[in-house]
Amino acid sequence: MCGITGYTGVNQAGPILLEGLKRLEYRGYDSAGIAVQGDNEIKMLKATGKVSHLVDKFEAEPDFKGVCGIGHTRWATHGIPSDTNAHPHLSADGKFAVVHNGIIENFAEIRAELQKYGIEFKSETDTEVIVQLLAYNYKGNFKKALMKTISRLNGSYAIGVISAEHPGTIFAAKLSSPLLIGVGIGENYFASDITALVSNTKDVIDMDDGEVAEITPDAVKVYDHSGNEINKEIRHINWDIASAEKSGYEHFMMKEIMEQPQALKATIEPRIRDEEIVFEELDLDMKKFNRVHITACGSAYHAGCVGRGIIESLCRIPVEAEVASELRYRDPIMDDKTLVIVISQSGETADTIAAMKECKEKGATVLAIVNVVGSSIAKLADYCLYTWAGPEIAVATTKGYTTQVALLAMFAVWAAGQLKTISHGAYASMVIDIMRLPERAQRALDLNSRVKKLAEKYYDNQSLFFIGRNMDYAAALEGSLKLKEISYLHSEAYAAGELKHGTIALIEPGRLVVALCCYEKLFEKTVSNIQQVKARGARVLAVAHEGNRSIFQEADDVLLVPQTDPLLAPVIEIIPMQLFAYYVAKENGCDIDKPKNLAKSVTVE
């Protein structure tokens, strides 16, 4: 996600801001920029790509001088990654510059209003409205103009603003987006993330929603939403850089597992209006298609397997899911009546790109579900829906997968609404269940300490099985991959009913079988498979819905997750499996964030 930072003091701001931006790199970004006040004007530098590109530009500009400035790393949301869309953004009169982390939901309305007054916008971003509105509101009083401006903004923001007319002063404001003020001696700072501050100061002020800070070299004043000055405590932190980047978690994977409620919320909420699913970016007539083909790799393919079940069930249209590395060489039968859904967290997976090109050549329409804005897959697709999971650093995807499944479910309900294959009641009930996914994911995370204990019990099983039926089987595929990729244990996912056709030969005393039992329609069937493996000495760890009492008679250990619609269950039941994989890998001393032989983005065949 975006990162912001700022400095005011006696030293040159450029190198300090660039250092802060380097510290924010771990969060993922696609462009960066800085602005400083100098000689009664604002000077800006921006670069697409790495912060090092920005450093090169800075080093080539000896006149880029100023002792007060702001900086930003951008993770594109509104508008492609480009120098123009990179922050800071400057007001049309050149008097103000802003950096922003968050999303301004009513930007289109404000933009249209300002355009009527003849104000010209340069970028495609939602952020630019902040600085243009600020300049419009400015009548000589910086604070007043800022307070008036933020009172118009809906959505989330952490912003830092400088003005050519107020040397040495930065205003920073926050609503639903993190913001900290760093307190120094004769110099002060702000940042969205502690990592950008810890090498300069360990004394911070935590900003709360609705508060505004006026930061000068010698003072930090904090105001409430009405502009009254308030007292804030200074907190001393003792984190080092590495722990700060992970928000105190030992690994990015755990941080990202814990971020899932927020990632789901960001993916779901903006697309539900008045209890309806709205995809502004999707001008697609579903009646045109007689089949859907889903393709992706790894976990994204597993999300596709869940998507197949949901789309087929709700839209009553044939759906296939296939790994991209197979599809690309298979000369698949498809034409202009085929909708191909490609799924990719990174948007750069080579096999997925090749498969989608193959499908396009055959005349299919391609809809991409992607996390990284402006990535190759997002650009190549006819249509694109973004998961708003934020940057994922750990090689093993977690929030990438759950947001993909949530978005596929939303697409299925939306498409079924268009095709009239879903009743009003079922539509409304699915929307409610989708909206409740973040809260249910949070409750599933409450199993953390219990899962840790189970991992301590089972970590030395050298070979495991994940079984399930229907949607549970789709989730089992992902649970098994999670475990094998970070713990290096042999693990297989099997359709529970298929075990008896051969694989049951591998079940021996002590073998751990993880049985996913949330698809209640087939619960009794899965139970009979549990009994078959138990009869051969296996130990069974079951994941079932809260309220399921009978599972306790069948399994050795049980994890109960919040109940949801059976089609959505994989989003919730995968969470204890992610935690299980994490703790098993930890017990086995594995390098969790960077497992051997794996890369985050597989950009080669």
Binding site for ligand AGP (CB under 6 A): 297-300, 344-346, 349, 352, 395-397, 485, 601-602
Nearer to ligand AGP, 380 or 602 (CB): 602
In whole angstroms, the minimum distance from the beta carbon of 392 to ligand AGP comes to 9
Determine how many CB atoms are found less than 10 A away from the CB of residue 63.
7
Min dist. Cβ of residue 33 to ligand AGP (A) = 26
Nearest approach, Cβ of residue 402 and ligand AGP (Å): 12
Q: Which residues pair with 73 in a beta bridge?
A: 3, 32
Q: Count Cβ atoms below 10 Å from residue 596 Cβ, excluding itself.
A: 10
Give 395 or 493: the residue with its C-beta nearer to ligand AGP: 395
The 3-state DSSP class for residue 33 equals: strand
Residue 102 tokens read as: 């968050």
CB of 564 to ligand AGP, least distance (A): 23
> What is the residue type of 518?
C
Q: Which residue is nearest to ligand AGP (CB)?
A: 298
Minimum distance of ligand AGP from residue 343's CB (angstroms)? 7
H-only helix segments in 120-183? 128-137, 142-150
Secondary structure class of 353 (helix, strand, coil): helix
Q: What angle do CA 195, 197, 198 make, to 5 degrees?
A: 75
The type of residue at 564 is: T
- Closest to ligand AGP by CB, 338 vs 375, is 375
Distance between terminal CA atoms of the chain? 28
Q: Which residue, 485 or 554, has its beta carbon nearer to ligand AGP?
A: 485
Q: In angstroms, rounded to a whole number, what is the distance separating the alpha carbons of residues 367 and 384?
A: 6
Pick the closer one to ligand AGP by CB: 103 or 300: 300
- 3-state SS string over 177-203? CCCEEEECCCCEEEECCHHHCCCCCCE
Distance in Å, CB of 266 to ligand AGP, minimum: 18
For residue 583, the 8-state DSSP code is H
Say if residues 400 and 299 touch (Cβ distance below 8 Å): yes
Nearer to ligand AGP, 142 or 582 (CB): 582
The minimum distance between CB 296 and ligand AGP, in angstroms, equals 6
Smallest gap, in angstroms, from Cβ of residue 314 to ligand AGP?
24
Q: Is 191 left (phi over 0), alpha (psi -120 to 50) or beta?
A: beta
Active site residues: 2, 600
Nearer to ligand AGP, 34 or 353 (CB): 353
- Tokens in use for 578? 């992610």
Q: Which is nearer to ligand AGP, 195 or 299 (CB)?
A: 299
Give the residue among 300, 455, 462 at the shortest CA–CA distance from 392: 300
Judged by phi (left if over 0) then psi (alpha if -120 to 50, else beta), residue 346 lies in: alpha
Both tokens of 591, joined, read 């390098």
CA torsion 49-50-51-54 (nearest 10°) is: -50
Write out the two tokens for 226.
């009405």
Contacts of residue 125, Cβ cutoff 8 Å, sequence gap at least 6 = 78, 79, 85, 87, 89
Question: Rounded to an integer, what distance in angstroms lies between the CA atom of residue 363 and that of residue 336?
Answer: 5
Strand, helix or coil at 291? strand
CB closer to ligand AGP out of 60 and 604:
604
Taking the complex as a whole, the smallest distance from the CB of residue 352 to ligand AGP amounts, in Å, to: 5
The residues with which 204 forms a beta bridge, in sequence order, are 182, 235
